[in-house]
Amino acid sequence: MLSSKLDANVRKLLEALQQQGAPPLESYAPAQARLVALENTHLVQSPPETVPRVEDRRTAAGTPVRIYSAATEAPAPALVYFHGGGWVLCNLDTHDVMCRAIANRARAVVVSVDYRLAPEHRFPAAVEDCYEAACWVADHAAKLGIDDRRICVGGDSAGGNLAAVVCLRAREEQGPQFGGQILIYPVTDLASFDTPSYHEFGENHNLTRSLMEWFRNHYLADPQDAFHPYASPLRANDLSRLPPALVITAECDPLRDEAERYAERLREAGVAVTLRRYAGMIHPFFSWTGLIPQAMEAIDQVSAAVRSFRCPPL
């Protein structure tokens, strides 16, 4: 049964999907699920915007990245972006529309990271790739036309998880200092799905509990890895001395409560946090740029954060 809290447009979309009766993603093998996810992406996104410069490259470790530059100043602010998809699905192409839109609106450089996917490459492979890519951007900031004091990291869902973890690891290893972190309905706790939002929205609202279990089972090599802070940043003992955060959640998303709890814990640790819950939205509304006006509203909010985040003066 669909929640009465749903936005009217979202309700119509979910009803249409239910009428189609398509098999759930978790009924597929990962390779087939990736093809289905890519096909579905084209049905819900707006046409890609033109960006002045787009370039596919590889980091020093060989991780593919796509660099979007719509900078109007030099050096420019930058966002290192990690795509969602439960660590199993999606790639540079599925998130191309959003990265182009952010680059244009932020007048910035966006570096989208094509990290290794599970189950072929389980935890912590994605963490390793994302951290290395973020360090590579920081190390090559001048060559990329980026202001090294205005680099932020961000992502949606699993990508939001990875962005949070990259910040934790950078603090622990005295790595790059990031100006901010942008966490769009991030996964923050793989060790427990026992929250009110999971109980309320874990069925029939696009992202389901069973799909999250499918993602978790493919991502983690050992169930005990779920308690590691690099898999579940909410489990970290100390969240102090992390970059300022923009945390975006969707009201009708099973991940809502853990994402908002992470924002609360950041605040409690002295980190500046902007938390915005989008009423009536579901996971993954941020990518539905062709269907939901709130997607572009969230992209505008992310873009403003990219421009505003910067490291404190030395």
Catalytically active residues, by annotation = 157, 253, 283
Structure tokens at 24: 């759930």
Structure tokens at 270: 């002295």
What backbone phi and psi angles, to 5 degrees, belong to 45?
-105, 155
Report d(CA 110, CA 117) in Å as an integer: 21
CA–CA distances in Å: residue 293 to residues 131, 199, 200, 287, 289? 32, 27, 24, 11, 7
